[in-house]
């Protein structure tokens, strides 16, 4: 089969969970004799002409088409919001790839920076198209369902006035941000209705308000043109259905990971002294590393050390805040990044992994890697996490963002004799990438 996978960003420049999942699936398919190409987005600040935004490269035997995205007008589109979910230039590029490559199947792993217009173009070409939603991008403009106060959002309302309010709070400063903070959602909904009716005089950000209000309807209409959506868990399925996706479009299949060299059939060694805690992930605020650091600093000195793995250049301002928060504490070490092939080695040198996310994580792959390595996990109690980590069985859960609750769980893990060993013993071997690809192939063939 000729298979085209798409993702919002890809290796070697980006290597977070969705990118690793996409690459692992591509490698497994290649190993089985299929022909696999990848289409990816790539954020760039360089001034490029429209015709200069597409190039190609090869990564470990995978041919990659790359679209250089920018939050500037492209192909006559001026709205940054619209460019994010309905990028006409990216859609045209995708159409040319379909004509040239003639894939038997297209599978989307992420559409940010490319846009849901790709789904419509695949439907026009009568190419079977599938989607694995790895976060909430299809529903939420920020992809995180996270309010500015770090509380869970239920998604856009009928007018998307709540999205207008929340995005203004996040992206604007000065008087606009202050007004947005106190603006009641019903008034934001009224602003949207009047804007769409065209009865208001021109005002700043008018195009963005219109784009936000149209986003969900446009995205859901295109999702319903897919052959199938492969939701990783029930939470994602229910979220999509609640916002208008047809239930018959959705099947469930949890992610798989490359467990080669990761599984540890023998019991792990007892925890060391001091206890070794670790964070592995993107150094971004929604990942909650600052919450972990605050909880860690409340522990008695000398009881534990903290190793933080992540790229400080992804979000340099936030990484700088973390460095300042750590101060000169010798028990906190910033370890940078590592190739995903080393994750078993990294986890073997930890006594527990901490996943302190502030947003509703959708089955983060690092949880599966920790399970394969029998490394106990302390994590935020969100549906996508609790589907993998059972509190008191193979890990410990705490209320997201609650520093005191996190500190209590860390103290338990460190001080309660035998707890870490019991949690490790109950870790469950995760699904392998090979098994996940088996499921995808069955879905592609039977849909």
pLDDT band at 120 (very low <50, low <70, confident <90, very high): very high
> Can you give 363-418 as a three-state secondary structure string?
CCHHHHHHHHCCCCEEEECCHHHHCCCCECCCEEEECCCCHHHHHHHHHHHHHCCC
Q: Which residues of 37-62 are buried (b: 16+ CB within 10 A; e: fewer)?
A: bbbbbbeeeeeeeeeebbeeeeeeeb
Q: Give the tokens for residue 413.
A: 């893990």
**Is the residue at 31 inside a domain?**
yes
Q: Is the domain of 339 the same as that of 400?
A: yes
Q: Confidence class of residue 266 from pLDDT cuts 50, 70 and 90?
A: low
Query: Residue 2: what pLDDT?
Result: 98
The helix/strand/coil state of 352 is: strand
Which pLDDT value is given to residue 380? 96
Q: Residue 265 class from Cβ within 10 Å (0-12 exposed, 13-18 middle, 19+ buried)? A: exposed
Three-class SS of 151-195? CECCCCCCCCHHHHHHHHHHHCCHHHHHHHHHCCHHHHHHHHHHH
Query: Can the peptide bond before residue 169 be classed as cis, meaning omega within 30 degrees of 0?
Result: no
pLDDT at residue 80 tops 70: yes
Q: Rounded mean pLDDT of the chain?
A: 93
Judgement on whether residues 57 and 124 belong to the same structural domain of the protein: yes
Query: Is residue 74 classed as helix, strand or coil in its secondary structure?
Result: strand
| Pair 128, 101: CB distance under 8 Å | no
Q: Both 191 and 288 in a single domain? A: no
Question: Is residue 385 in a domain?
Answer: yes
Angle of CA points 133, 383, 250, to nearest 5°: 35
Question: Is residue 32 in some structural domain?
Answer: yes
* 418 shares its domain with 441: no
| Pairing label, strands 304-309, 332-336 | parallel
Residue 164 has pLDDT above 60, yes or no: yes
Say yes or no: 242 and 102 in one domain: yes
Per the listing, tokens 């045209």 go with 92
| This model's pTM is above 0.85 | yes
DSSP labels for 219-238? HHHHHTTSSEEEESSHHHHH
Return d(Cα 108, Cα 111) in angstroms, integer.
7
Task: For residues 130-136, give the mean pLDDT.
Answer: 96
CATH number at residue 126: 3.40.50.2000
Report the pLDDT value the prediction gives residue 62, as an integer from 0 to 100. 97
Stretch (H or E) spanning 292: helix 289-297
For 186-192, the CB contacts below 8 A with 24+ separation are 186/161, 187/161, 188/159, 188/161, 188/162, 188/164, 189/157, 189/158, 189/159, 189/161, 189/162, 190/161, 191/161, 191/164, 192/159, 192/160, 192/161, 192/164
Asked whether the predicted pLDDT for residue 249 surpasses 70, the reply is yes
pLDDT of amino acid 260: 64
| Same domain membership, residue 16 and residue 76 | yes
Q: Quick: pLDDT tens for 322-368.
A: 999 999 999 999 999 998 889 999 999 999 999 999 988 877 889 99
Residue 374: exposure state from Cβ atoms within 10 A (0-12, 13-18, ≥19) = buried
pLDDT at 375 over 70: yes
- Domain region containing 32: 2-132+224-256+433-446
Say how many domains are in the chain: 3
Does 214 reside within a domain?
no
Domain-embedded: residue 169 = yes
- Is the same domain home to 375 and 397? yes
């Amino acid at each position: 089969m000729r298979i085209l996978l798409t993702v919002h960003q890809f290796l070697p420049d980006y290597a977070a969970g969705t990118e690793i999942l996409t690459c692992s699936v591509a490698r497994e398919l290649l190993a089985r004799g299929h022909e696999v190409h990848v289409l990816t987005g790539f954020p760039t600040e360089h001034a490029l002409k429209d015709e200069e935004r597409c190039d190609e490269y090869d990564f470990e035997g995978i041919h990659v088409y790359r679209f250089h995205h920018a939050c500037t007008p492209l192909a006559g589109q001026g709205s940054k919001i619209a460019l994010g979910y309905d990028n006409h230039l990216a859609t045209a590029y995708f159409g040319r790839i379909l004509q040239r490559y003639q894939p038997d199947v297209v599978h989307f792993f992420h559409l940010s920076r490319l846009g849901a217009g790709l789904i419509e173009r695949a439907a026009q070409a009568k190419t079977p198209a599938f989607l694995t939603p790895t976060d909430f991008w299809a529903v939420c403009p920020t992809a995180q369902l996270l309010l500015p106060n770090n509380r869970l959002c239920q998604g856009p309302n009928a007018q998307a006035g709540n999205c207008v309010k929340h995005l203004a709070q996040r992206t604007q400063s000065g008087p606009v941000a202050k007004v947005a903070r106190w603006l009641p959602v019903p008034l934001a909904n009224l602003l949207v209705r009047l804007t769409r009716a065209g009865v208001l005089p021109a005002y700043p950000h008018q195009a963005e308000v219109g784009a936000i209000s149209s986003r969900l309807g446009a995205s859901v209409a295109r999702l319903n043109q897919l052959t199938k959506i492969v939701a990783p868990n029930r939470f994602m399925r229910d979220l999509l259905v609640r916002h208008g996706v047809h239930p018959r479009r959705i099947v469930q299949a949890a992610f798989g990971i490359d467990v080669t060299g990761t599984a540890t059939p023998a019991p792990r060694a007892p925890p060391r002294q001091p206890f070794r805690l670790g964070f592995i992930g993107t150094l971004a605020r929604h990942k909650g590393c600052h919450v972990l650091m605050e909880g860690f600093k409340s522990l008695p000195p000398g009881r534990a050390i903290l190793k933080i793995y992540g790229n400080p250049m992804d979000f340099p301002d936030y990484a700088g805040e973390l460095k300042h928060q750590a101060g000169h504490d010798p028990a906190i070490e910033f370890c940078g990044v590592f190739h995903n092939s080393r994750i078993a080695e990294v986890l073997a040198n930890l006594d527990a992994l901490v996943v302190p996310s502030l947003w509703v994580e959708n089955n983060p792959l690092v949880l599966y890697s920790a399970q394969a390595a029998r490394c106990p996990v302390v994590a935020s109690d969100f549906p996508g996490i609790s589907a993998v980590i059972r509190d008191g069985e193979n890990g410990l859960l705490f209320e997201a963002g609650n520093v005191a609750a996190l500190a209590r769980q860390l103290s338990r893990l460190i001080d309660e004799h035998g707890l870490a060993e019991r949690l490790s013993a109950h870790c469950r071997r995760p699904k392998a990438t090979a098994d996940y690809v088996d499921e995808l192939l069955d879905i592609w063939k039977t849909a």
